[in-house]
Amino acid sequence: MSQKPDKQPDPAEAFRNLITEWERGFDTMANRIMGTEEFSRGMNQLQDLQLSMQKRFNEAMAEQLANFNMPSRDDILRLGESIRALDQRMAKVESQLAKQAQKKKQKKKQTAAAADPSRPPRTKLPPSARKEQANG
Amino acid sequence: MAEPDVSPDLIKRARKMVDRAIQRNVKGLEFLTGPPAPVGLTPKDVIYERGTLRLYHYHPLADEVYRTPLLIVMATTNKAYVFDLAPGQSMVEYLLKQGFDVYVIDWEPPLPEERGLSLADYTQDFLPSCVERVLEDSGEPDLSIVGYCMGGVLSLIYAASHADGPLANLACITTPVDWSEMGLSAIWSDEKHFDVDRLVDTLGVVPKDFVTASFEMLRPAQKTAGQVRVWEQMWNDDFVASYRAFDRWGAETLPLAGEYFRDTIKELMWGNKLYKGKLKVGGKSAKLKDITVPVFAAMAEHDHIVSYAASKPLLELVGSEDKEEVVLKGGHVSLIAGPNAARRMWPRLADWLGERSI
C-alpha cells in the first residue's frame, strides 16, 4: 500500500523557498538597475576618481623617494621585469632542450624500451572498442 | 483535565526542529572557528613552474590509462582546485579513475613585476611550454586539452594559432566566444565609460578585490542567501563541507596581470576579435576556423557569468567536422563541480574524450 502524502507544511522548506524567492527578486531588481548606462557611467566615474587619487599619491611618493636617493616602486618593478625577461630566456632554452629530449624519448618508445614501470600502461580502450574486441 | 490532542507527526517534526536548532549552534561554532576547508587532496606533482604558472601532474588511479594525455587549463581568475574540491567531489579524481593521465595548469597570483604579461604570453608561451612538458613527461606525440571559462579562451587561441601543433582533441567548458553577449560585464566595461588604460597604467596588476567585485555584482544577493542557507543547513555535514569548499574557492579569486587584462578588454570585449576571426596574438593569427581537431563544447543554460549566447557560437565557428555540443541545466560552476557535474557533465566529457584518446 502506498504511503499517505504528507500534508503538514514543512517550515524549513518554506523558509528555503522564501530565501530563494528573495535572492531571485533582489538579483533581478539589482541587475535591472546595474544594467543601465547611467549605472555603468557612475560606477566608472567613481573608479576613475579613486585611480586619479592613487596616481597622484604614487607620483608624490616617487618624488619623495627620489629626494632621499632611494628607488621607487617603479624602479623595483623594472628590476623585477628584467629578472623575468632573463627567466623567459631561460625558459626558451629549457623548451629547446625539452623538445630534443622529447624526440629522443619518442624514438626510445618506438623501440619499446622507454616504458616506465612505475606508470600504468597506456593501453586503455574506450567501452565501444572493448565491445568490438569482445564481439571479435 | 483532558490532554490536548497533538498528532504524533507534529511532535516528531517539533523534535526534529529542536534537534536541528541545537546542532546549528554546536556546529555553527565549529564552522566559524574551524580551519579553511581542505581542498585539492588528490596526489600530484608540480612538474613545471614559472612565475604565475604551475603545471601539475596527478598520480594515476587506474591500472591502465588512455594513450593520449589530458591537459586541463584553468581560468586565470581562480584556483584550479575547483577541479579537485574533495575526495568523491573531484573532476580530476573522476577522470583519473576513468583511466586518463591528467595534467592541470593552475595560476598563482601574478606578482607586481608580472604586470606586463599579455595575452600573447599566456597563449604563445605558457600554454605551448606546458604542452611541451606534458608531451615530454608522457612520451606521447599528442594530447587533449580541456579549457574552463577563460582557460577555454586561452586553449582556443592556442589551438587556432598552432593549427599544425600536437593537439588531438579540444573540450571547452563555459567558454565565451561572442563577447558582445557577455551581459552586464559588457555593459560595465563599455568603451564609452571604462578607461582600461588608466586602470592598468595606475595599478599594474588588476587587484583581486576588483575581480571579486566584478563577479559578485552579477549576483549581488548570492553571498547573503548562501550564508542564510548554510546557517539553516548547519546540521547537514555534507552540505556544510561542500559550502565551505566552494566558499573558500570563491574567496580565493586571483588578481590579473595588467597587460593581459588590457588585451582581454580591448581585443576580446571591445573588438570581439575571436568571434569575428580578426584576432592576432603575438603576431600570430588566431582564427577559430583554423581549428580542425575534434571539439566538445559544454555550456550551462543558466550561466550568469558566461551566458549561453556568448558560448553558443563556438561550434559554428570552428573548422572541425567532429564536434559535439552539450547544454546542461545549472550555472557557471555547476558544470565542473558539485552534484550536477558529477552526474551529468563528467561522464559526458569522459565518454567523449575516451573515444578519441586511443
Query: Does the pLDDT value for residue B208 go beyond 60?
Result: yes
CA A72-A73-A78 angle, to 5 degrees, is 100
Strand order in the sheet with B53-58: B44-50, B53-58, B102-107, B70-73, B143-148, B167-173, B295-300, B323-328
Q: Any chain A CB within 8 A of the CB of B213? A: no
What average pLDDT score do residues B109-132 get? 95
CB B74 within 8 A of CB B252: no
* Region of B297 on the Ramachandran plot (φ > 0 left; ψ -120 to 50 alpha; else beta): beta
Give residue-wise pLDDT tens across range B54-99. Answer: 999 999 999 999 999 999 999 999 999 999 999 989 999 999 999 9
Three-class DSSP category at A30: helix
pTM exceeds 0.90: no
pLDDT band at A79 (very low <50, low <70, confident <90, very high): confident
Given an 8 Å threshold on Cβ–Cβ distance, is A105 in contact with B136? yes
pLDDT surpasses 60 at B238: yes
Helix H or strand E segment including A14: helix A11-34
Specify the amino acid at residue B186: A
Interface contact B352, partner A, CB < 8 A: no
Cell of B74: 584553468
- B31 pLDDT higher than 70: yes
Query: How open is the CA angle B52-B53-B58, to the nearest 5 degrees?
Result: 140
When scoring B61, B137, B184, B193 by the number of chain A Cβ atoms within 10 A, the one with the most, hence best to mutate, is B193
At residue A1, the pLDDT reads: 43
- Name the β-bridge partners of B256: B206
What is the chain B residue with the closest CA to A73? B112
Amino acid B245: pLDDT: 86
**Looking at residue B73, what is its pLDDT?**
98
Residue % of chain B over a pLDDT of 70: 99
Residue B83 identity: F
Kindly tell me if the per-residue pLDDT of B193 is higher than 60: yes
Do B353 and B325 form a contact (C-beta atoms < 8 A)? no
In angstroms, rounded to a whole number, what is the distance separating the alpha carbons of residues B139 and B120? Answer: 27
Average pLDDT, chain B: 92
pLDDT > 50? residue A114: no
Chain-wide mean pLDDT for chain A? 81
Collect all residues of chain A within an 8 Å Cβ-Cβ radius of residue B354. 124, 126-127
Residue A6 confidence (pLDDT) above 60: no
- Please name the member of A6, A27, A129 whose beta carbon is closest to the beta carbon of B219: A27
State the average pLDDT over residues B201-225.
92
Interchain contact, A47 vs B101, CB within 8 Å: no
Report the distance separating Cα B64 and Cα B54, nearest Å: 26
Instruction: For residue A136, count other CB atoms closer than 10 A to its CB.
Output: 4
Closest CA to B262 of B204, B187, B178: B204
| Shortest Cα distance, chain B CAs vs residue A9, angstroms | 10
A119: nearest CB among B50, B60, B228: B60
Q: What is the 3-state secondary structure (H, E, C) of chain B?
A: CCCCCCCHHHHHHHHHHHHHHHHHHHHHHHHHHCCCCCCCCCCEEEEEEECCEEEEEECCCCCCCCCCCEEEECCCCCCHHHHECCCCCEHHHHHHHCCCCEEEEEECCCCHHHCCCCHHHHHHHHHHHHHHHHHHHHCCCCEEEEEECHHHHHHHHHHHHCCCCCEEEEEEECCCCCHHHCCHHHHHCCCCCCCHHHHHHHHCEECHHHHHHHHHCCCCCHHHHHHHHHHHCCCCHHHHHHHHHHHHHHHCCCCEEHHHHHHHHHHHHHCCHHHHCCCEECCEECCHHHCCCCEEEEEECCCCCCCHHHHCCHHHHCCCCCEEEEEECCCCCCCCCCHHHHHHHHHHHHHHHHHCCC
pLDDT at A47 over 70: yes
Host H or E run for residue A110: helix A73-110
pLDDT at A115: 57
**What mean pLDDT do residues B117-134 have?**
96
Q: Identify the pLDDT of residue B7.
A: 79
Instruction: Give, as one character, the DSSP assignment of residue A42.
Output: H
Residues in A touching B63 (Cβ below 8 Å): 120
Spatial distance between the Cα atoms of B37 and A23, rounded to a whole number of angstroms: 25
| Residue listed under C-alpha cell 563577447 | B179
Sign of the dihedral defined by the CA atoms of residues B273, B254, B69, B173, in that order: negative
Beta strand B256-257 pairing with B295-300: unpaired
Number of CB pairs, chain A paired with chain B, less than 8 A apart? 150
Q: What is the ipTM of this complex?
A: 0.77
